[in-house]
A and B are shown apart, each in its own frame.
Chain A
């Protein structure tokens, strides 16, 4: 019985944590996600999304200062998802560009080879 009470107590204590302590982990993760997105080139390929992520992160930080930890956590989560989107959008755009360039290079190659063989004949 004692054990169950302790567990329930601990459970309550932990769940309480999320709203009574600053969401440090979320903020750190979001920041990492934003810089990852920047590294792959989000500034060029997803400028609005990355800007949105940064803005939300900043707001989340100011909410932490106002000790509105629950709201700060939610905002950090949304900033995180924005950063993720910015990153995947960048990667996707780059990959599509690569596909296009590859296809063009193949076309050029085919043409060049065609000419070469024609010349030999």
Chain B
């Protein structure tokens, strides 16, 4: 009885020992499964992979679980290896998928960044163009102002000249298409004479002042008569009258080359020659004043 009991105890102990040994020895490592587990564990803890490749990661997990289950049940090692390999590759696919998605996002991001760069550039260009346009506008405005000022000055000068000429009381100053024309009435000369009356001294004086004041301006003195007497005679008389006015001016110190003379006789009457009043108007001397450049508009015949 005792021996039997002892034997029983021994048997039990042996069984337990055997079981324990079996437990420790049975699940040796499967290298492929271990590798798959490691790879998967890394991917599982990578938030990028979890976020960007959840499906491939899930497939890896399923394969890994299959492998582990078969391994646990001590099933076919071929299948353990198969699913471990599948798990490993699926994990690799998950990682690459995540990288691909990230790259695609980056491409989109880069595209929008490129747009931003282009936009910035366009804006900078627009600003530059605007500034250029503004500068041009400002320049044009300045040019216009300068031109206006020059015109204003010219107008003022012209106005002043006219005013000054007008002050010569015996002269009739007129702005004509030939420019400024001063008309001396016949009263400055005696009838049929080319000599200036004493009273014309004042006129000569003022004309001299005028020419001194405007050194750029020249004058053309044109003598005219009525139609009494021969054409030849009248022409000569008109030339002599023009000459005597010139001489008076030259005597007063005016430079000769500032004065031109012309005897035009009975041409270009300004009034009728039928009556004395008209004839008196036609007997005259006209002084054509040049422009600021010294150019005199000649009569167009």
| A residues in contact (CB < 8 Å) with B | 71, 74, 77-78, 81-82, 84-85, 88-89, 91-92, 95-96, 98-99, 102-103, 105-106, 109-110, 113, 116-117, 120-121
Contacts and interface: CB of A to CB of B under 8 A. Distances in A.
15 contacts: A78-B86, A84-B89, A88-B96, A89-B96, A92-B99, A92-B100, A96-B99, A99-B103, A102-B107, A102-B111, A106-B110, A106-B114, A109-B118, A113-B117, A113-B120
B103 A96 contact: yes
Contacts of A81: 85-86, 89-90, 93
A103 B117 CA distance: 12
Nearest to B89: A81
Contacts of B128: 117, 120-121
A98 B103 contact: yes
A113 B122 CA distance: 9
Contacts of A71: 78
B107 to A, nearest CB: 6
Contacts, number: 78
Contact of B110 (A82, A88, A91, A102): A102
Interface of B: 78-79, 82, 85-86, 89-90, 92-93, 96-97, 99-100, 103-104, 106-107, 110-111, 113-114, 117-118, 120-121, 124-125, 128, 132
A72 B118 CA distance: 57
A88 B93 contact: yes
A109 B93 CA distance: 35
A110 B103 contact: no
Nearest to A96: B103
A105 B104 CA distance: 16
Given A74-B78, A106-B114, A117-B121, 16 more contacts: A78-B85, A81-B89, A82-B89, A88-B96, A88-B97, A89-B92, A91-B96, A91-B100, A92-B103, A99-B107, A99-B110, A109-B121, A110-B117, A113-B124, A116-B125, A117-B124
B103 A95 contact: yes
A103 B110 CA distance: 7
Given A77-B82, A88-B93, A102-B110, A95 B104 contact: yes
Contacts of B90: 81
B57 to A, nearest CB: 13
Contacts of A113: 117, 120-121, 124
B257 to A, nearest CB: 56
B89 A109 contact: no
